[in-house]
Amino acid sequence: MYTNLSRILHYNSAMDFLKLVQHRRSVRAYREDPVPPDLLTSCLEAARLAPSATNSQPWHFIVVTDTEVRSRIAELTRLPGSRMNAFAAQAPVIIAVVAEPPRLVTQIGALLQKTPFYLLDIGIAAEHLCLRAAEAGLGTCMIGWFDEKKVASLLGIPKGSGLHRRRVSLLITLGYPADAPREAKRKPLQSIVSYERYGGEGN
């Protein structure tokens, strides 16, 4: 009986998670309502619990709610004469995700494998944060285009050098969506999955 109950709970949990993933969207229009501190903290806690290579946890999150600083950061996400990322100025919270130097063993592995593991870790942590936000009724959007040097200077991030260099890898806008989320277009599962070998068909 215990086994059956565990299977039922596991099934329901899996279904709830899939619904959450389907619900999450990149939000590009925000209401002015502030984000409650407890919800903001829970989003950051979700990011904190993310896995990382050799448990390096190579991240630091700078939460920006000050109106003037947010406005300046938002301006640094735009191309001159372009409307790209103009929505960033609406978000009541902008979170800068700073890549901290990972452990030496992780850096050595990254060099040997020619894979920047810390960026994979940052992505996982950021998605943890965004999924928790979606669960709480908040909206997020990850922004990769911005003037990194100016953002780093504005936020007082120590430069470092070599293996100890810090980078602003990502900006995340956070707030209550102003509009209902649009349905995301995704490739069908059969076009992105193979079995046993590339292009191999499943049963």
DSSP 3-state of 90: helix
Which of 1-5, 41-45, 86-90, 164-168 is the least confident region? 1-5
Q: Indicate the angle between helix axes 117-135 and 37-48, nearest 10 degrees.
A: 150
Residue 127 scores a pLDDT above 90? yes
pTM for the complete prediction? 0.88
With tokens 């896995």, the residue in question is 51
Summary mean pLDDT of the chain: 89
Q: Which has the higher per-residue pLDDT, 87 or 161? A: 87
Cα→Cα distances 200→86, 189, 192, 196, Å:
43, 13, 11, 6
So what's the pLDDT on residue 146?
A: 97
| Distances from the Cα of 61 to the Cα of 36, 79, 108, angstroms | 17, 24, 25
What pLDDT, on a 0 to 100 scale, did the predictor assign at position 110? 72
State the Cα–Cα distance between residues 30 and 139, nearest whole angstrom.
8
Residue 119: Cβ within 10 Å count? 15
The answer on pLDDT for 47 being more than 70 is yes
Please give the domain boundaries of the chain with CATH numbers for all domains: 32-178 (3.40.109.10)
pLDDT in tens, 49-105: 999 989 999 999 999 999 999 999 999 999 888 889 999 999 999 999 999 887 777
Q: What separation in angstroms does the CA of 113 have from each of 36, 69, 107?
A: 42, 39, 10
